[in-house]
Amino acid sequence: DIQMTQSPSTLSAAVGDRVTFTCRASQMIYTWLAWYQQKPGKPPKLLIYDSSTLQTGVPSRFSGTMSGTEFTLTISSLQPADSATYYCQQYNTYPWTFGQGTKVEIK
């Protein structure tokens, strides 16, 4: 199975900060990676698919990039509404696998 490793586990930043967190795949998954945002008591929400394509309706402050097996989610200007846990997920190969999540807290 493909292992997805996210870092950091927790991130604390101020409103307006640029924040970046990463997801590393244990093997090549090409561009087949999605990012989800999950707030407490809510289902996950798709933010980005195909590693860098923004889902319709998602604010443009979110962006995704890839380099080999390392993927990055960036929030260009952190907002209070961005307080959540973010998960990456590969869909290159079954079984699909998620990273363990990065929790973003607002200072």
Q: Which residues of this protein are in contact with another protein, per CB under 8 A?
A: 1, 32, 34, 36, 38, 43-46, 49-50, 53, 55, 87, 89, 91-92, 94-101
Shorter beta-carbon distance to another protein: residue 17 or 63: 63
Bridge partners, 12 (sequence order): 105
Shorter beta-carbon distance to another protein: residue 16 or 56: 56
Decide: helix, strand or coil at residue 81.
helix
Shorter beta-carbon distance to another protein: residue 15 or 50: 50
Report CA 90 to chain centroid distance, whole Å: 11
List all residues 6 or more positions away from 76 whose beta carbon is below 8 Å from its beta carbon: 18, 61, 62, 63
Closest approach, Cβ 53 to another protein, in A, equals 8
